[in-house]
A and B are shown apart, each in its own frame.
Chain A
Amino acid sequence: MSLALDKPRQPRRPAARRSNGELYSWLFMRLSGLLLVVLVLGHLFIMNILDGGIHKINFGFVAGRWASPFWQFWDLAMLWLAQIHGGNGVRTIINDYARKDTTRFWLKMLLYVSMVLIVSLGTFVIFTFDPNISN
């Protein structure tokens, strides 16, 4: 696109500035999807396949994992990404299929409230987990 300079005072209509929100949400879905493939498959492998799979999981196993900041970060990233990725996906489905504005509004409110609840509860547990609680 070349700028026409031969008549500089010609009013060049400025493009209406619109939000880039949809662009960023679209981009986020792609990037978080890639990350989630690694995080979720790794999680499933550790929890369900390695060392006898699901039978090894108990309070002590979880306490041992969350003693390490690495696994804390892993689970935190998985929680946040999965919640926002999934929530954004459901948001687009609501946008596509809700017919009335009020339905759309309330469905989205329900979605956002549930997202905030789950993300904050999960984050709270990861950071305040006390391995000595059973004693």
Chain B
Amino acid sequence: MTATAETTTGSRGSQPPVPDGAVTVTVKIRRFNPEFDDEPRWDSFDIPALPSDRVLNLLHHIKWYVDGTLTFRRSCAHGICGSDAMRINGVNRLACKVLLKDLLQKGDKHTTITIEPIKGLPVNKDLLVDMEPFFEAFRAVKPYLVTYGNEPTRERIQSAADRERFDDTTKCILCACCTTSCPVYWTEGSYFGPAAIVSAHRFIFDSRDEGAEERLDILNDIDGVWRCRTTFNCTDACPRGIQVTKAIQEVKRALLFKRV
């Protein structure tokens, strides 16, 4: 480990009392401090935790009571804001939605939880990645209502059946779990990635929107939907349960038959 000038105590002082029923788990975190490290390194922490804890609680424990320099994003901590996407035991998950009891080893075996930053995006520090390439792809598909002509004097009416067509893709919280689980995105960052295609899908199949053709043309490019290899990593990773691969296939079908 590289010598660090920073303090290695928690930001909230000494450790709180260990609650009843707590088990000690090892949290192994892939860390990188651009000021001191040339290469990412692994740090392990033995943490007392309850089976009902979320992985985010473990990270909080480390940051507050063990090593205040640990850096990660989180905001709402309840699976809504999509800030704390990370690679937990090799799969992309929201740290606030994974319960420790689902990661515990059977019997009395010791549990080690591996946490890495999501792959394919530049790491700023520890688990904090630069999301800009991700949002650049998101913006490129025009994820907003596009209409032409005069605005209607009343609201834009939509039937329940028309609303149903893109219902699944409205659930996206832009956490980047899907895009950074995609093997094509790992090696070739110019691919739009699943999340951008999901956001495009949400408007392409919206009966009130008139920009479908523009978006379909953007996604017909060499870095668009045809890059998808249907590995279903994205569908597996999505914390909102969006059928991401299905949405991508629907965009492919719309392109193939020139019909939305």
Contact = CB atoms under 8 A, between A and B. Distances in A.
In the complex, the 9 A-B pairs of residues with the closest C-beta atoms, listed nearest first? A4-B149, A22-B226, A15-B217, A4-B148, A15-B214, A15-B213, A7-B149, A26-B226, A6-B150
Interface in A1-52: 1-2, 4-7, 10, 12-13, 15-18, 20-23, 25-27
Interface residues of A, number: 24
B221 interface: yes
Interface of B: 147-150, 183-184, 187-188, 210, 212-214, 216-218, 220-222, 224, 226-227, 229, 252, 255-256, 260
A17 B187 contact: no
A10 B151 CA distance: 12
Given A13-B214, A17-B217, A23 B226 contact: yes
Given A1-B213, A4-B149, A13-B214, A27 B221 contact: no
Contacts of B229: 96
A106 interface: no
Given A4-B148, A4-B149, A22 B187 contact: no
A124 interface: no
A5 B222 CA distance: 34
Given A1-B213, A13-B214, A20 B187 contact: no
Nearest to A5: B149
18 contacts: A1-B212, A4-B148, A6-B149, A10-B148, A12-B148, A15-B213, A15-B217, A17-B217, A20-B220, A23-B220, A23-B256, A27-B256, A95-B222, A96-B187, A96-B188, A96-B229, A97-B187, A97-B188
B210 A95 contact: no
